[in-house]
Structure 1
Amino acid sequence: MDKAVAREILLDRKRRRRTLGGFATVMLGMFALGLWGIDGWLSESPLRFGVYWGLCGLLCLFVMLFALFDALSAIKEERERHQ
């Protein structure tokens, strides 16, 4: 079931872009929360600070790789459409 859902998201351009936008929104929300919402709480513990910003970094990396996948998929789809 999970593979079917993932395949559907990855093959449909609109759904892929909507999913990418959702992940990017969550990432920006986490950055804003860490910078202005819970900055005092995070600064109390170096471990807490490192774990939170590490997770933010991993999410950012995921969003960048997903955006690269989307760009390459769009190029492939357009090449196939024009052949």
Structure 2
Amino acid sequence: MSGKQSDWESSKNLAKAILHDRSMRRKWLARWLILTLAWMVSGLWVIDSWLDASVVRFLIWWGICAILALGLMLFALYDALSVIREERK
């Protein structure tokens, strides 16, 4: 049990470090953007015929794409608000 607890604590500490450091936040935003764009591009041009073969695959694929894009927008909004808060201090 203590192994899981220490993993949880280290994960929380890593998340805090990423969220509180502007340069680290920007690196993670860039990675997330690249992942989201790669996901979209692969769905549009690489595996489009595979996705067209099944409605379920199509909906799952683009649902994940929408979740990635929404998460990216929320993270960018958090970053913008954090920068405003940092600059006011």
Deviation for aligned residue 1:55: 0.3
Does 2:26 correspond to 1:11? no
CA distance in 1, matches of 2:23, 2:80: 13
Q: What is the aligned partner in structure 1 of residue 74 from structure 2?
A: 65
Deviation for aligned residue 1:30: 0.5
Q: TM-score, normalised by structure 2?
A: 0.89
Q: TM-score, normalised by structure 1?
A: 0.96
Runs of 5+ in structure 2 lacking a partner? 1-9
2:33 maps to which of 24, 48, 61: 24
CA distance in 2, matches of 1:55, 1:35: 14
Q: Percent identity?
A: 47
SS at 1:5 equivalent: helix
Deviation for aligned residue 1:76: 0.2
Deviation for aligned residue 1:52: 0.3
Does 2:64 correspond to 1:55? yes
CA distance in 1, matches of 2:11, 2:52: 38
Aligned residue pairs, count: 80
CA distance in 1, matches of 2:34, 2:75: 14
Give me the CA root mean square deviation.
0.3
SS at 2:33 equivalent: helix
Runs of 5+ in structure 1 lacking a partner? none
- Off by >2 Å, runs of 4+ in structure 1: none
